[in-house]
């Protein structure tokens, strides 16, 4: 059963989507820790074939494209390590990293917006690579 990805825009936090596994918060916290982000700044949503990692980071959101891509690559590498321990994620075909520019209060409430979304696709070697269109 697929779960919709959080909607883009400026209307809310996007946290109205449910995770597709009960241990999604544990996985999210592990990915955040491995990528050296506070657990409160990383949120996972997705389906059995697509995972979206949202990271709320004003500094990263204002950085250049190379810096954002490098940070997204680090998050995906951390996700690959963590998800290897969870067989329910073996069907993943794509991971996207949404870089969120938080609102003035630092949360993803009012005033937040998505600065960038970096896409990764699973390759023949079963590793995720940066996908450019």
Q: What is the CA radius of gyration of the chain?
A: 14
Cα–Cα nearest to 1, from 47, 42, 70, 41? 47
Tell me if 104 is assigned to some domain: yes
| pLDDT tens, position by position, 54-65 | 999 999 999 999
Q: Where are the beta strands (DSSP E) in the chain?
A: 42-46, 50-56, 94-101, 113-122, 128-131
Query: Which helix or strand (DSSP H or E) is residue 60 part of?
Result: helix 58-62
CA 84 to chain centre: 16
What pLDDT does residue 113 have?
Answer: 78
Report the number of distinct structural domains present in the chain.
Answer: 1
Token pair belonging to 108: 């993803």
- Measured torsion, CA atoms of residues 128, 7, 48, 1, in degrees rounded to the nearest 10: -170
Tell me if 85 is assigned to some domain: yes
Tell me if 11 is assigned to some domain: no
3-state secondary structure of 76: helix
Tell me if 49 is assigned to some domain: yes
Q: Where in the sequence is the domain holding 117, given as residue range(s)?
A: 45-131
| pLDDT tens, position by position, 24-47 | 899 999 999 999 999 999 999 988
Tell me if 23 is assigned to some domain: no
Tell me the pLDDT of the chain averaged across its residues. 81
Rounded CA separation 109/17 (Å):
15
Indicate the pairing of strand 94-101 with strand 50-56.
parallel
Q: Please, which pLDDT band fits residue 123 given cuts at 50, 70 and 90?
A: very high
Q: Quick one: residue 35, left, alpha or beta (phi over 0 = left, psi -120 to 50 = alpha)?
A: alpha
Tell me if 73 is assigned to some domain: yes
Tell me if 117 is assigned to some domain: yes
Tell me if 32 is assigned to some domain: no
Reply yes or no on whether the pLDDT at 19 is more than 90. Answer: no
């Amino acid at each position: 059963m697929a779960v919709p990805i959080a909607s883009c825009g400026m209307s809310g936090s996007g946290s109205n989507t449910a995770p597709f596994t009960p241990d999604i918060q544990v996985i999210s916290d592990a990915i955040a820790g491995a990528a050296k982000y506070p657990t409160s700044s990383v949120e996972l949503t997705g389906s059995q074939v697509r995972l979206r990692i949202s990271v709320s980071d004003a500094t990263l959101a204002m950085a250049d494209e190379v810096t954002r891509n490098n940070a997204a690559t680090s998050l995906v590498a951390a996700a690959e390590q963590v998800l290897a321990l969870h067989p329910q994620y073996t069907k993943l075909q794509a991971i996207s990293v949404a870089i969120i520019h938080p609102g003035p209060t630092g949360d993803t409430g009012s005033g937040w917006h998505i600065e960038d979304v970096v896409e990764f696709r699973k390759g023949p070697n079963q590793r995720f690579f940066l996908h450019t269109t």
